Structure 1
Amino acid sequence: MHYLIENDLLDKNDIYLLQQESYSKNIFDIQYPMLKKALPSDGNNILRYWSGPVLIKGSRYFICSEWYEQPNNNDRPFFEAWYRKKLKF
């Protein structure tokens, strides 16, 4: 995600979709939205998201930390397929 963010490869539609629980479940097989917009009251930590929000197109977002790479629950292939599409390879 950091590479996509740092290289401005997420458009407004991506950011909107990544904040939707249903999209994150369908695309990444995770239970929470990939991104959560940071509120002034959030501080640096919110449950189920990596600490320290990231800046995307002028707004602060937290990235979901609820990823698993276990034989019975491996989310990595879902993310990698989406990532390759974003990079177009």
Structure 2
Amino acid sequence: MIEFDFGERLKNRDLTLPLLDSTGSNSGKEVMVMTSHTDWLERDILRVFRSACQHGRSDIAEFMLAALEKLDSERANSATRKRPLIDAYQEIAGFGASQR
């Protein structure tokens, strides 16, 4: 197992990240975000969820959805509108793909 330790310097810090289009390619734009380790984890899980759906791996997608549900239940501010779990539910309902 590979472990990544970004240390305290990346915890809860503003970052400039490349803005990706719906295919996951760099759009040439950047966005400034406030992020935490949990935010990164949720984004990575959502990315794997989408990939699993695209490749017909419903077993993996279901596992990733359960992970998003677990992380979302632990959020202190669950009233946040833009959450990876909501994005995943919208993908399932067919709303996510048509809005990108």
| TM-score between the two structures when normalised by the length of structure 2 | 0.25
Q: 1 or 2 for the larger relative contact order (CA 8 Å, sep ≥6)?
A: 1
Higher CA-based Rg: 2
| TM-score between the two structures when normalised by the length of structure 1 | 0.27
